[in-house]
Structure 1
Amino acid sequence: MAGGQLDVLVIGGGITGAGIALDGAARGLKIGLIEMQDFAGGTSSRSTKLVHGGLRYLKQMEIGVVAEVGKEREIVYENGPHVTSPEWMLLPLYEGGTFGKFTTSIGLRVYDFLAGVKKNERRSMLTPQETLMKEPLLKQDGLKGGGYYVEYRTDDARLTIEVMKKACELGAIAINYAKAEQLLTDEHGKLTGIEVRDQITNDVYALHAKKIINAAGPWVDTIRELDGSKTGKTLRLTKGVHLVFDQSRFPLRQAIYFDIPDGRMAFAIPREGKTYLGTTDTNYHGDIASPVATAEDRHYLLKAANHLFPSLGLSDSDIESSWAGLRPLIHEEGKDPSEISRRDEMFVSDSGLISIAGGKLTGYRKMAEDVINKTLELMRGEGESLQAASISTRTIPISGGDFGGSSKMAGYMDSKISEGMRLGLSKEVAALLTKRYGTNIDVVYALAQDAIQWGVRYKLNALHAIMLSYSLKHEMAVKPVDYFIRRTGNLFFRIEEVETWKQPVLHAMSAVLGWSEEQLVAYEEELELSIEQAKHAH
């Protein structure tokens, strides 16, 4: 990147930055991206992991948001069905709850209509008996029935990484662990580039670009401060916490969207032998890089779960893991966190810095398109003659998503699982790899034999040897936390796997990446701290 001038340089490697890199690269721009942590290291690995249709916004009468979000959700799914899948959601209706039977029925119909929901995924209304058949754990007292509708669940970090890989396939240059330390300007005070520090080697580079886009999520205002342009609207960070339980303790069959007695809404979702529960929405003023679940957060969610699922009697000791993420919302005077709009906004400063703030995971693609449109408009206004193609990312599959549409995925998966078994992998391992990597499975299988042999040296099993090898070669994993949190999701959903395999992974990574003894110790401590924070919130 330091070797020449870029058209655009993006600060921030979460889903928003990844989307912008993909959109710019698809249009033929010379685009670079820097991320000071790992890709998806902030909010983009700490969400509720749903590509929302935005039912909640219907309650706030934000009709435009519901319509746009619903349509985008479908695009996100079709372009990467290996990381996003439809999930039926049950909304139980209770006496005195915020959702009445009639209004919910109308609301879900409006939602289906606005969101352009497919015929086979349209909502239905259930009797109390049907509701309990779907989820026997629900409190029976005061139950009036249920609404049944489709949400889409995703692996947010994997989605971000697949979008980033696609951007790079199309010519973007992206790097993690590279921090923007200073903005570079010309004699007229216009931005010309960024001074960037490599967080691993400590080397400093001057990167030059015609336009700089600030997509730093919770750090957007930190970058605006460097630019001297943090005025007018500013960010308000709120924290959302999720708790994970084993299915043996919380045997939920069915994803549930439910009322908490204080008027907020929460989700309980079964996933990979676990159930996770969230989320809180509280103002946040702590360290942006490492928000954690507090005892108060845990108490709040446990109380909500025990209220709706009274037979469980969940307590602190049942929590296997947790995560906390920050929502970078645009500050509105006098509004409660859960009432603040989730809309995204763009700010252009006098120096030419383009900042994008707010917004939702679901809307990342549309947001990226708007940002690149605005960037091109500004560049042309400044007399740049640009050859940008008018290509839309609407029909560009993300990395691993080349199935030719979601309907063809199941058949593809079956044939690839059989192929994996012919290579000597167990059915479980072949299935997990195929589901995780989608149409990149051929690349994964091509490195499998060598990876397994390499893994034997470090006492790694076949699955971890293959995934780690792929993460290092093709997904820029730099530290053990990258692998265990963002490349695999193990720290949240299989924390015992992390305990079992942390030493072999550390030593295998150290050998490949040539760590010093200090680095090995530092990365091990970082991983231990992450495990500790996930298991025992403060």
Structure 2
Amino acid sequence: MSSSRLTAETRTASLDAMAADELDILVIGGGVTGAGIALDAATRGLKVGIVEAQDWSAGTSSRSSKLVHGGLRYLYNLDFKLVAEALKERGLLLSSLAPHLVHAQPFLWPLKTPVIERAYSAVGVGMYDALALLGSGGHKTVPMQRHLSKKGALEQFPDVKDGALIGAIKFYDARVDDARLVLTLVRTAAKYGAHAASRAQVTAMTTDGSGRVTGAVIKDLETGKDYTVKARETIAATGVWTQETQDMSGGTGGLKVLASKGIHIVVPKDRIKGDTGLFLRTEKSVLFIIPWPDYWVIGTTDTPWHEDIQHPVATKRDIEYVLDHANDVLASNLTEDDIIGTFAGLRPLLQPGTMDESKSTKVSREHTVTRPADGLTAIAGGKLTTYRVMAEDAVDFALGDKAKARPSITEHTPLIGAEGFDAYERLAPRLAEEYGWDKARAQHLLHRYGSALDELTALIDEHPELNVPTDSAPRYLKAEVVYAVTHEGALHLEDILRHRVRLNFETRDRGVSSLDEFADLVAPLLGWDEDQIELEKSNYRQAMAAEDAAELATTDAEASVARNDASELRPLAPISKK
């Protein structure tokens, strides 16, 4: 079995290995869908490579609502199959696939009328619970709904305005650090033999005389070197980049996607008084107010995005929309001064006309798999919760008749950190005592690393000086910053601050005050000289200043111009279209 560690060295070795020997499947795209596909294919015994043009999860998959949920609102559209499928996946993640990363999260659904609304809401949530039980074979992975009086609701969430509800229904979904889920999927795929390389961009697809896709030309954005990789099948899981990826194949079919922007704001934990989350319906979408150990995440929006797809940003108007709708319910009266972070992501929604119009005639969150060209499979749509089903469908589709001989086994393949997690929960007090961690620190580490915590403690055993909180972000140990490089494939400071130690949205300065300290920790590991260290820091400062400027703009166009004023540390290369 291969090592699960992702490092600069394993990345280069993976590119060399992909170029040296024909792959069974080349996966393009390192978000949750692509990572899931790489794991699915690798655990079928296939020779797999996965490449991502940016850092792992850098697109939509690190900018979600960070929820694993069935989509309660979809019941209103009678999408029973979609909800049931998602609830089954939620149960698997909570119970066996990733219990260290995915945690049950209670929500209140405020009620405003005493009889009719409570009745139909109870039926909807009751069906939600029933579908969850059905999907888990009768095993309850989260508590069932509870009806609360106004007094009971306010006891659980004192910050709700007095006139905002007459009672509530308490129900459960789950939350997850989306970027960590992607990293864990990639690491698990690597454990089962997948070659994985971030900052490796497909710039062209290779074809044979008949026009069949036979692989790709991949540019190492770290060195500028080009690799030609041959693959029997190529699968594109590139989200809002789907059409650009398909254009490289020369095929005439394919998927069409619409980019829809969703933004979130982050406020301090002590700014809202509540023990649960809130689920609110708005005129355009839904609004979640989600508690995390150190802050609240509030969102989202759902608006068309026609600007640069690499850097979606929140505008002043977006932020005001979220604040206004939150303040309709919250007595705390949040203002822009309360916001410590924001993030924006793009949902790849399938457009009308995708595939057979008689079967797909509306924009949908459901995924679709198609074959834009012989040898190339494309998948788009769906959501984070159902990544595993999407991955299975994509690999089945790419393999065709051969899939029956190599069925997916990811339904019972735990991710890195999940195997033995129950034992580590019991070991946590002993580890806390041994390493001098308080209960909160031990829980924080356990929920980030699960049973892979032994890798972190091995690092600490070798370098005891790392077993102290960072000066600039005390909730994280210095060991966690180093671990991001030695085990999780971070190549740059921005990789750490955006997707490993996520100060990009957890602190008011977006992590800028941590640059000097983090650079001192990782520069020796990555071989940086003083010039590279300064480039890393200045680039991140510029990018964060550009995001700050974008938030002052009122339109997407103005915000995008402001964001793109910052230069890229590793710019994407031009692509070749057939």
TM-score by length of 1: 0.90
Q: Could you say if the C-alpha distance between residues 452 and 462 of structure 1 is closer, same or farther in structure 2, counting changes exceeding 3 Å?
A: farther
- Among residues 100, 104, 107, which one is paired with 1:86 in the alignment? 104
Find the counterpart in structure 1 of residue 26 from structure 2. 9
1:271 aligns with 2:276: no
1:530 deviates by: 4.7
Find the counterpart in structure 1 of residue 538 from structure 2. 525
- Among residues 489, 503, 507, which one is paired with 1:490 in the alignment? 503
- Among residues 325, 333, 350, which one is paired with 1:313 in the alignment? 333
Find the counterpart in structure 2 of residue 121 from structure 1. 143
Residues 369 and 378, structure 2, Cα contact 8 Å, conserved in 1:
yes
Residues 50 and 196, structure 2, Cα contact 8 Å, conserved in 1:
yes
Q: RMSD of the TM alignment (CA)?
A: 2.6
Q: Distance in 2 between matches of 1:452 and 1:81?
A: 29
Find the counterpart in structure 2 of residue 63 from structure 1. 80
- Among residues 441, 458, 477, which one is paired with 2:453 in the alignment? 441
Q: Distance in 1 between matches of 2:335 and 2:128?
A: 36
1:232 deviates by: 6.4
Q: Could you say if the C-alpha distance between residues 58 and 472 of structure 1 is closer, same or farther in structure 2, counting changes exceeding 3 Å?
A: same
Find the counterpart in structure 1 of residue 172 from structure 2. 150
- Among residues 303, 311, 325, which one is paired with 1:304 in the alignment? 325
1:494 deviates by: 4.2
Residues 195 and 204, structure 1, Cα contact 8 Å, conserved in 2:
yes
Find the counterpart in structure 2 of residue 30 from structure 1. 47
Where in structure 2 are the equivalents of 1:110-509 lying within 5 Å?
110-116=127-133, 118-119=139-140, 121-141=143-163, 143-229=165-251, 231=253, 233-260=255-282, 262-309=283-330, 311-332=331-352, 340-377=363-400, 380=402, 389-403=406-420, 408=422, 412-425=424-437, 428-453=440-465, 463-495=476-508, 498-509=511-522
Find the residue that maps to 2:229 and give its secondary structure: strand
Residues 156 and 274, structure 2, Cα contact 8 Å, conserved in 1:
no
1:16 deviates by: 0.3
Find the residue that maps to 2:216 and give its secondary structure: strand
Q: Could you say if the C-alpha distance between residues 509 and 402 of structure 1 is closer, same or farther in structure 2, counting changes exceeding 3 Å?
A: same
1:109 aligns with 2:129: no
Structure 1 alignment gaps of length 5 or more: 334-338, 381-385
Q: Distance in 2 between matches of 1:102 and 1:126?
A: 13
1:419 deviates by: 2.1
Residues 484 and 496, structure 2, Cα contact 8 Å, conserved in 1:
yes
Find the residue that maps to 2:166 and give its secondary structure: strand
Residues 452 and 465, structure 1, Cα contact 8 Å, conserved in 2:
no
Q: Could you say if the C-alpha distance between residues 283 and 340 of structure 1 is closer, same or farther in structure 2, counting changes exceeding 3 Å?
A: same
Write out the 4+ residue segments of structure 1 that deviate beyond 6 Å after TM superposition.
Answer: 458-462
Q: Distance in 2 between matches of 1:207 and 1:244?
A: 42
Q: Could you say if the C-alpha distance between residues 343 and 455 of structure 1 is closer, same or farther in structure 2, counting changes exceeding 3 Å?
A: same
Find the counterpart in structure 2 of residue 336 from structure 1. none
Residues 329 and 342, structure 1, Cα contact 8 Å, conserved in 2:
yes
TM-score by length of 2: 0.84
1:501 deviates by: 2.5
1:302-351 alpha-carbon deviations (Å, 9 max, x no partner): 11111111x22222121110000000010137xxxxx8321000110233
Residues 29 and 388, structure 1, Cα contact 8 Å, conserved in 2:
no
1:492-514 alpha-carbon deviations (Å, 9 max, x no partner): 23456934432111233222212
Residues 266 and 340, structure 2, Cα contact 8 Å, conserved in 1:
yes
1:439 deviates by: 0.5
1:143 deviates by: 2.1
Structure 2 alignment gaps of length 5 or more: 1-17, 354-361, 553-578
Point out the more displaced range, 72-81 or 507-516.
507-516
1:78-119 alpha-carbon deviations (Å, 9 max, x no partner): 21111100011110012499x921110111111111222755
1:139 deviates by: 2.3
Amino acid corresponding to residue 359 of structure 1 in structure 2 = G
1:129 deviates by: 2.0
